[in-house]
Amino acid sequence: MLTVDFDRLGLRPGDRVLDMGAGAGRHTFEAYRRGADVIAFDQDADELATVREWLTAMREAGEAPEGAEADVKEGDALALPFADGEFDRVIAAEVLEHLPADIAAIGELARVLRPGGTLVATVPRWLPEVVCWKLSDDYHNNPGGHIRIYTQEELRSKIEGAGLVFDGLHYAHGLHSPYWWLKCAVGVRDDDHPLPKAYHRLLVWEIMKDPLPLRLAGKVLDPLIGKSMALYFHKPTA
C-alpha cells in the first residue's frame, strides 16, 4: 500500500529516484514500475537483500519498462553516499520519525536533490499518533521506534529550513488508524485478540482487492483521521 502520490511527486520515466529508508521496498517497486532509475537506500541489510530479490523478479517478469533501472544501497541517512544534486525525486516515507538527528537527515536529502527536483516526506499524522502513544508505551518505546510526533507545521518548517519550497500535502490510510488504536488498547503484542484480528482482515481485503466500499470510506476518512501525512516540496532552481 502506497503512501506517496507519484503523480503529485511528478515522477517521469527516466527520473533518478532515491527512496531513503526504503524498508520493504513498496515505493521503490512503484518507482521502478513507472520507469525510474531508482535506488532503495536503507541501513537494514536483510531488508535490502529481500528488496533486491523482488527487483530481480520484477525485471525477469517484465514488470518494469525497458531502460528502467533499480538497485539497493546500504548506508547512513546522515551521510548519504551520493553527489550533490544527483536525484530528480527523493522519497522519505515513514522514516524521519525514527531519526534522532532529523534535521541533519533532511539536510542530506535536500543536498542530493537537484535544483528543480521534488521531495516527498511522509510521517505519522499528529492526532492518530498521539492517540497511539496515550494508549500504549509499547507502541513507540522500543529500539528503533518512533521518537517524536510531528505536527504538520514542524515538519514543514524543518524541510523549508533546508532550502526547499512547500508545494502541498495530503493524508493517507484513514482506515488504518482505528486498527492501531485497537492494537494499542488491547496490547500491541497481542496478535490473537479478536477485535484487531478481525479489523486486520478488513485491511487485507482493502490492500488485496481495493473494493469500492472501502475505497469510498478511505476518501472520507483520510482527511479526518489519516494515519500518515505526506508533504511535497521542490528545490528552487535559483
Give the pLDDT score at 68.
96
105 CB neighbour count, 10 Å cutoff: 25
Amino acid at 36: A
- Nearest to 85, CA basis, from 69, 109, 66, 102: 109
Task: At 109, give phi and psi (nearest 5°).
Answer: -60, -45
Give the pLDDT score at 126.
97
211 CB neighbour count, 10 Å cutoff: 11
CA torsion sign for 91, 170, 106, 101 is negative
Give the pLDDT score at 159.
98
The model's pTM? 0.95
Q: What is the pLDDT tens value at each position of the chain, 238 positions in all?
A: 899 999 999 999 999 999 999 999 999 999 999 999 999 999 999 999 999 999 999 999 999 999 999 999 999 999 999 999 999 999 999 999 999 999 999 999 999 999 999 999 999 999 999 999 999 999 998 888 899 999 999 999 999 999 999 999 999 999 999 999 999 999 998 989 999 999 999 999 998 999 999 999 999 999 999 999 999 999 999 7
Give the pLDDT score at 59.
94
Amino acid at 234: H
Give the pLDDT score at 230.
98
* CATH architecture, range 6-125+137-172+226-234: 3-Layer(aba) Sandwich (3.40)
Q: Write down the H helix ranges in 79-149.
A: 102-112, 126-135
Give the pLDDT score at 96.
97
Whether 13 contacts 34, CB under 8 Å:
yes
What is the domain partition of the chain in residue ranges?
6-125+137-172+226-234
